[in-house]
Structure 1
């Protein structure tokens, strides 16, 4: 029997996208999975939409927060409840291609890989292609990953059977970066990627990543609070981050020809 994959999806007022996101999981060619949806005290129609799917699919489960607690705590609740040999993540507005799990799990097993990610494409709020491909690095060491967040969270999978349950530090933003840093560190070897694009990342007009001041602040706290660096070391790491983010990592985003 194929290994069980636990998929973690935090929710907060996600009625506009969650149905499409769940359908992209139901369409997976890899069928041995469980979906753990963690609702962070939504005030819209999210839970009603989710319950319609749960009624028809016993491998979809809902966990609810009694107050709004943030993405990190919600994600961690899902991780701790997960029963899978592998843990994967998909945010409530992103999508997977049907062969996503099949190809990555096979790759991890064939390559003896504990942490795996893949390339992905960008879409807008309406699901329209933005003709941008974010190309995954073939191999990603802890040292390289420390310089910038090279793993799209919607693409990442780690082997929980070997590494144990790796959770997110409780920071407001960039928790996923720290989670994958910890996973690579626990593995003791670099993460590897499937070079093929297997997912769609939804870009919102008012996304935080477009705010350069917010980018600086939240990434500084990754080094200072998340990793416990001294102020001087955190500032030095930020200078390296800025160079990596704007002059090196930028090359990983490729403009595709319009179809």
Structure 2
């Protein structure tokens, strides 16, 4: 990793691939950051990793962004995909703190100043997260209470969140295995934490970020602050819009954890999560009439949990097309 640069306090890493004009709103959300409670916006660099875009609109926007003072556009010529792009961005980052932002998502106006305020007030923080909102492409951001958007997380930190207080989750591996309440949009990571880690696993098509959070949780406390500081754009062509199971490929990641000695003491929780994910995949394919895929998903469930009735039931229902 390069030497830290005192010029910047945070590095924002943004993978880009044929995002088109929506990226303009993302860039604007960075440029329009304002102070929070008299705490100024920290100095930042934005590293845009072009993952091989060939869309004219995207290329034109990247060309215009390249001229901005603290924006850097770099072409990714090695490992493709979001994981490879983020890892490349991390290797180029020159500040102590790493923030991720996809090229179609948004930062709320006080996102940087608010997060950095907490970091300055407690030098012991190395991993910070906040709440986010989800909005549909072309529509306004409509805030959802945390207790509705993430009931498991609310059960853990609701009493702090509702009072406007920061919550500290001590090595939250078990909590994260119940549900993933951290995303690339809402997280700040001290750069030194990433040394020695595999960062974003390029072998995974999805859930590579989830795996990194679980790796971090083994040794690091998560500080969750009571603010909505990001907005996730749910696009009609996104993976979360119904084309694939919500937990697609997560089973592959969980099997990797089962083979990792560091996670040995969490085997029971991993297996519980794995069963949940495989059952969800079976239901998804049956719901959309993809019975061949439902049979395959049921077979994976049976191979992992041969003594559990649910797998055999799923296989039977999938085979008869119900």
TM interval, short-chain normalised: 0.7 to 0.9
Q: Which structure has the larger Rg over C-alpha atoms?
A: 2
Shift of 1:3: 5.8
- Secondary structure at 1:168 match in 2: coil
1:22, 1:165 → 2: CA distance? 31
The 8 Å contact of residues 234 and 241 in structure 2, kept in 1 or not, is answered as no
Secondary structure at the residue paired with 1:154? coil
Indicate yes or no: 2:227 matched with 1:215: no
Q: Map Cα deviations across residues 98-127 of structure 1 (whole Å, 9 max, x no partner).
A: 211111122123232111110111111114
1:239 aligns with 2:275: yes
Question: Is 2:27 aligned against 1:16?
Answer: no
Tell me the equivalent position of 2:289: none
Give the unaligned 5+ runs of structure 2. Answer: 1-5, 35-40, 158-166, 280-322
Provide, for residues 5-57 of structure 1, a one-character-per-residue CA deviation record: whole Å limited to 9, x for no partner. 000110110113111101111112314000010111111121220221221x2
Does structure 1 residue 125 correspond to structure 2 residue 125? no
CA contact (8 A) 2:185 2:232 kept: yes
Task: Assess, with a 3 A threshold, how the Cα gap between structure 1 residues 216 and 201 changes in structure 2: closer, same or farther.
Answer: closer
Counterpart-to-counterpart distance in 2, 1:195 and 1:239: 32
| Separation (CA, whole Å) in 1 of partners of 2:258 and 2:243 | 22
Map of 2:312 onto structure 1: none
2:182 paired with 1:148 = no
Residue 183 of structure 1 and its aligned partner are, at CA, apart by: 2.7
Alignment CA distance shift 1:117-1:220 (3 Å): same
Unaligned runs of 5+ in 1: 244-259
How far is the alpha carbon of 1:193 from its aligned partner?
Answer: 1.2
**Residue 96 of structure 2 aligns with which residue?**
85
Would the aligned equivalents of 1:86 and 1:160 in 2 still touch at CA under 8 Å?
Answer: yes
Residue from 220, 230, 234 that aligns with 1:199: 230
- Is the contact made by 2:251 and 2:278 (CA closer than 8 Å) also made in structure 1? no
Q: 1:252 matched to which residue of 2?
A: none
- 1:109 pairs with 102, 120, 136, which one? 120
Number of equivalenced pairs: 240
Q: Looking at secondary structure, tell me which structure has more strand per residue.
A: 1
What's the RMSD between the two structures over aligned residues?
2.9
Is it true that 1:169 corresponds to 2:205 in the alignment?
no
Q: Secondary structure at the match of 2:125?
A: coil
Distance of 2:190 and 2:209 partners within structure 1: 16
Residue 62 (structure 1) shift:
0.9
Name the TM-score, length of structure 1 as normaliser: 0.81
Hey, what does 2:72 align to over in structure 1? Answer: 61
SS state at 1:215 partner: coil
Query: Map of 1:181-192 to 2, 5 A cutoff?
Result: 181-185=214-218, 188-192=219-223
Structure 1 CA distance, aligned partners of 2:89 and 2:257?
20
Q: Distance in 2 between matches of 1:60 and 1:41?
A: 18
Q: Deviations over 1:67-109 (max 9, x none)?
A: 7811100110001110110000110110001211111122123
